[in-house]
Amino acid sequence: MTSDDNSQPVVEIHVRPDGSYKVYGPVRVVDVDGAEYDLAPRRKTDKIGERIKLCRCGSSKTMPFCDDSHVETGFSSQPRVADLQ
Ligand code: FES
């Protein structure tokens, strides 16, 4: 994961091919009422760093978090920066 010019940690969101948003960095997730989710059980570490996964497909049974339902539903989406230019 990268840092900004002041060496402060930054949040990075990775759009996964046909899958979730992986969110790296010091984030809080709050629900529609403003209540904060406990992210401790959702945090995992991979080769980039510690992250949570947010659902991008709409099929998760643990919204707003990804539960890998996208695999069963065959969700397909691979947006790229170039798509918006
Ligand atoms: S992106 Fe994984 S369950 Fe929706």
Q: How far apart are CA 65 and CA 21, in angstroms?
A: 9
pLDDT at position 9: 67
pLDDT score of 2 more than 80: no
Atom of ligand 1 nearest to the CA of 56: 1
What are the DSSP calls for 13-44, one per residue?
EEEPTTS-EEEESS---B-TTSPBP--GGG-E
Q: How far apart are CA 45 and CA 58, in angstroms?
A: 24
What would the pLDDT profile of 44-60 be if each residue is shown by its tens digit? 999 999 999 999 999 99
Query: How close is the Cα of 2 to the center of ligand 1, in Å?
Result: 25
CB 73 within 8 A of CB 62: no
Q: How far apart are CA 80 and CA 13, in angstroms?
A: 13
pLDDT at position 74: 95
Residues with CB under 6 A from ligand 1: 19-20, 55-57, 59-60, 66-70
